[in-house]
Amino acid sequence: MNRTSNSLFDRLKAACGADWQAYTGHDFVRQLAAGTLPEAAFRHYLGQDYLFLIHFARAYALAAYKTTNLAEMRSAVASVHGILNVEMALHVDYCQGWGLNEAAMTALPEAKATMAYTRFVLESGMAGDSLDLYAALAPCVIGYGEIGTALAADPATVMGGNPYASWIEMYASPDYQAVAIAAVAQLDRLAEQRLTPARFEALARTFHQATRLEADFWQMGLLQAP
């Protein structure tokens, strides 16, 4: 993910310590790269990721509500539209290749890790402002971009014959990298308006907790945990 450094995202990631590596280098990710992840684990992850996307859309709808800035509002509403009308359709099409249809995924019970993560993100936004909310969303939106880039660039990643190669390519693609870069820029724009030195520590705690919950989400998929 090519971008300038010293962004708020970089500062938050640096404050996250070893937990960022535990998330981006999780066993689930390493097994994806090697093509050795059990298919049942990947299907479980995909189903829960569909449920996650529903709450992701709710989070961006909350971001629109939490601001009176028209530019921010339009950006948040565009994200809601993109998730509900583009990303979810793409996700459903992808999941069909793994034997999962939309009706079956809609009927799935939420795993504990899904509930913990999505409710944390929503609570962060409800208790704070849009900067708090976007800090909670950043490990997912931007982190997946970093993971995709790192896996695609790593010569140890198996692409030929890897059933998960298309997943890696999706998050390494220019389209997704543009999404991640835009999320970095959005954080910086909000920081210009609202960040103070005293507030950084609270944002870092939010980012850190969301990162830990991302790792838990991988672990949920790996263990096929309910």
Q: Which residues are catalytic?
A: 140, 214
Radius of gyration, alpha carbons of the chain: 17
Exposed/middle/buried for residue 224 (C-beta within 10 Å: 0-12, 13-18, 19+)? middle
Distance CA 126, CA 111 (A): 22
Distance CA 11, CA 167 (A): 28
Specify whether the CB–CB gap between 149 and 1 falls below 8 A.
yes
